[in-house]
Amino acid sequence: MDLRSLARPLAQLLTTARRTPLTPKRGHKTTARTKRALKIAPHDSFLPDRTAASPAADSIIYNPPASEASPAHTPFLFLPPSDPRRSAFLRIRNHPRAPAPAPTAQPPTEADMPPRMRYKHRKPRYNLQKEDVAEMKRLRAEDPIEWSVARLSQRFDCSEVFVKMAAPAPQEHLAWLKGKMDRKTARWGPMKAQAREDRKRRADLVYRGDL
């Protein structure tokens, strides 16, 4: 085999590589030019027919956005049978111009009422006398840390609310508790302090009925 026939493909590859330009050139594929190239007018079949003699109202589609449901409105299916709104809705559906009948007050029966909530109620016993209240005040004033509200409630067999009303803590103990809480909050970071402020603000909104 001739050596020239073997060396010819290699020479062609080297020549092709040398002919490749090394300087970059700007092409037409830019963002603005691509948008202009793809901006094609719609076909005639997509355009509305302007020659048809139809009223203008037929070409308008009214589709308002969905509105939020009001909590003051209860659907008809969820109204109890004894609710006066059910009879009012039925009267409006059947006879829109009929006058409203006289209200008849019927007390709801036990079957119509929802089930009772089972709360843990503490029955008042009134088992404490004046001597017991005086002893409670004495213990609370002597050592409020040792005789806390929970411990006095267990000893005298009463509620913690009654202990707070009958034997409040002295002002020195309250000031000590406030200083202890201030030292604790001083070690909080910015995130925890902001979270506690947000919690307090939400509680104020709940108590005012704004939330």
- Total domains present in the chain: 2
pTM for the complete prediction?
A: 0.40
pLDDT higher than 70, residue 12: no
Verify that 131 and 163 share a domain, yes or no.
Answer: yes
pLDDT value of residue 197 = 93
Q: For 18-55, write each residue's pLDDT tens digit.
A: 555 667 666 667 788 888 888 888 777 777 666 666 55
pLDDT value of residue 4 = 64
Determine the Cα angle at 116 with ends 114 and 120, to 5°. 155
In terms of residue numbers, what domain contains 141?
Answer: 127-169
Q: Is residue 134 in a domain?
A: yes
State in Å, rounded, how far the first CA of the chain is from the last one.
Answer: 96
Q: How many residues does the chain have?
A: 211
Q: Is residue 196 in a domain?
A: yes
CB of 127 within 8 A of CB of 157? yes
Q: For 118-162, write each residue's pLDDT tens digit.
A: 777 777 778 888 999 999 999 999 999 999 999 999 999 888 899
Helix axes of 149-156 and 130-142: crossing angle, nearest 10 degrees: 150
Percent of the chain with pLDDT over 70: 73
Q: For 76-99, write each residue's pLDDT tens digit.
A: 888 888 888 888 888 887 776 656
What CA dihedral angle connects 73, 78, 84 and 89, to 10 degrees? 70
Q: Is residue 182 in a domain?
A: yes
Verify that 157 and 182 share a domain, yes or no.
Answer: no
Q: Is residue 47 in a domain?
A: no
pLDDT value of residue 13 = 60
Given 136, 154, 169, the domain boundary residue is: 169
Verify that 157 and 184 share a domain, yes or no.
Answer: no
User: What CA–CA distances, in Å, run from 165 to 129, 132, 158?
Assistant: 15, 14, 12
Rounded to whole angstroms, how far apart are CA atoms 76 and 83? Answer: 10
Rounded to whole angstroms, how far apart are CA atoms 193 and 185? Answer: 8
Q: Is residue 102 in a domain?
A: no
